[in-house]
Amino acid sequence: MSILVRNAGRLVTCDPALGEGPLGVIEEGALVAVDTVITWVGRERDVAAPPGAIEIDAGGRAVLPGLVDCHTHLVFDGDRAAEFAARARGEDYRTGGIMTTVRATRKASDGELCRLAAERLDRFLSLGVTTVEAKTGYGLTPAEELRLLRLTGSLDHFVDVVPTLLAAHVVPEEFAADPEPYVDQVCEEVIPAARGKARFCDVWCDDRGAFSVEQARRVLEAGAQAGLGLKVHAEQLSRSGGAMLAAELGATSADHLEQATEEDADALARAGTMGVLLPGASMMTGAPFAPARMLIERGVRVALSTDFNPGTSYSENLQLAVALGCGLLRMTVEEAVLGVTRHAAAAVGREDTCGRLAPGLACDVLVLESRSEADLAYHYGVNLARAVLKKGEVVV
């Protein structure tokens, strides 16, 4: 099956080799896809569509790659509205709140967890997101973490799901007095069993209820030995050393980075480790925002994400993350758009698969209601997805 997307007022390829500026914009553009893979992009006047191609008229609107949300906690049960209300009254955020979700998730059936995850993926898709990274981390026993990983891998949806093992999310209540045996379990039982099921191994490196640098190192080294890519929740609540560890071990990404320093940025840039920033979590907890300008100016490639989770950022609206990136992190529109397309794809190891509109990549396409990609930030908080193409179909 062939598809022709035509009459794109601005075809935002996110590949500067294909068009103008850092976003590779082609004015009055078009693209052709065959069997779900893009085969041609360019000016519409030059297009040669295959006979019988299904034609999609963008109506002069902006056309972008399908958005990529590169940091989410997708599969869980339970509600933490009471925790949110308490925080709004001025109470400090505590990682122990995660255990509320852990207890609810452990009690939930497989069917209920899959139903909830599918509903969330529907909302992501309606907002133009076609690829989502999904972490475990709400089981915190070997059996429960592997169950969440299995359920994540079983999700059958138009949105592509990249599974990440986050068994080292926080220290479970059962091991609060001595975390080392739990770290042993993660390294010796959970991670080896995740081989071939997870794409990444993640760890929250922080001295406040999470894992020390040396504990995080053990987890990540076990993940690397199992053939998993590496990610780190780093420098969120304090400067813990997670970013430096991520750089040292060549992690794909270091996420959060609210407390990151210039030294951290230089190490990440040298290592080629992506910085994934989560402004929604800062907004909802009143915490500092990540120093995006400093990171970018020191050479770190920066992605943006919702940090979708029930405790600190309960939103599937990745378009809002673009607005927060521009308005509060002082990113340019171009930087923020790349942060939810090409750079986000790189943060989940899929830069050669999605995140750009280029020949050979997946035909994941977002047609905006707007004529400009800038409206993702300028017309903030609004769903601008007019149409989404995925797997050869118009699904929104």
pLDDT (tens digit per residue) in 128-177: 999 999 999 999 999 999 999 999 999 999 999 999 999 999 999 999 99
Distance CA 248, CA 268 (A): 9
Q: Domain 2-66+356-394 - what CATH class?
A: mainly beta
Give the per-residue pLDDT at 209. 76
Q: Please say whether the beta carbons of 9 and 28 come within 8 A.
A: yes
Q: What are residue 202's DSSP bridge partners?
A: 231
Give the per-residue pLDDT at 284. 94
**Cα-based distances in Å from 339 to 122, 270, 336:** 22, 19, 5
For the chain, how far is it from start to end, CA to CA, in angstroms?
19
Give the per-residue pLDDT at 48. 87
Q: Which residues make Cβ contacts (< 8 Å) with residue 236, sequence separation at least 6?
A: 204, 206, 256, 257, 258, 259, 287
Q: Please say whether the beta carbons of 318 and 120 come within 8 A.
A: no
Give the per-residue pLDDT at 255. 98
Give the per-residue pLDDT at 391. 82
Give the per-residue pLDDT at 396. 85
Give the per-residue pLDDT at 89. 87
Q: Which residues of the chain have pLDDT under 50?
A: none
Distance CA 67, CA 344 (A): 8
Give the per-residue pLDDT at 157. 96
Q: Please say whether the beta carbons of 5 and 30 come within 8 A.
A: yes
Q: What residue spans define the domains of the chain?
A: 2-66+356-394, 67-347
**Structure tokens that stand for 311 in this block:** 């405790």
Give the per-residue pLDDT at 91. 80
Please tell me the CATH code under which domain 67-347 is placed: 3.20.20.140
pTM of the model: 0.97
Give the per-residue pLDDT at 95. 52
